[in-house]
A = this chain, B = another copy of it.
């Protein structure tokens, strides 16, 4: 599932600007799909080129001008096609967990900071999800939001429950 298909997917729920697409993904599913604007804008340009989306430029005073994109019929077909081809992999690269595996080599204060930072991120994402409107959302979006909540919640709970013993062990490495 490349960035192009992801954009088509967001647009399938209604027209949006590149900026909107980024926000949508970030706030709704940021815990599982991280896309930077530097990949979205070129992707949209390509899609426009291929006729998979249409574009309307909107001039704004007191705000930068923007481009509103909308899915075309061909684009909708391409979305179905792109989804069909995706292997559906779930890949994670957690430097966070890697740091914890080697916690014994981290200064205690750094360990604390790593855990606190991660907890703050999790809470931010949970807040985003909780604040979203569920009314009128597709079954897929609800499922995904619930999934994110479940997984993030489990991470947070585990960290809160076990950080103490980890920090104690890390503070006295000679006892290992």
Contacts and interface: CB of A to CB of B under 8 A. Distances in A.
B151 A102 contact: no
Contacts of A63: none
A48 interface: no
Given A88-B95, A92-B32, A154-B153, A139 B104 contact: yes
Contact of A144 (B84, B91, B100, B157): B100
Contacts of A59: none
Q: By DSSP majority rule, is chain A's interface helix, strand, loop, or mixed?
A: helix
A31 B92 CA distance: 7
A10 to B, nearest CB: 9
Given A6-B98, A99-B86, A114-B88, A147 B158 contact: yes
Interface in A64-101: 79-80, 83-84, 86-101
Nearest to A115: B88
Contacts of A147: 97, 100, 155, 158-159, 162
Contact of A101 (B105, B140, B150): B140
Contact of A151 (B9, B12, B93, B154): B154
Interface string A1-23: 10000100100100000000000
A94 B84 contact: no
A49 interface: no
A56 interface: no
A141 interface: yes
A22 B33 CA distance: 26
B138 A162 contact: no
B155 A140 contact: no
Contacts of A87: 95
A96 B104 CA distance: 34
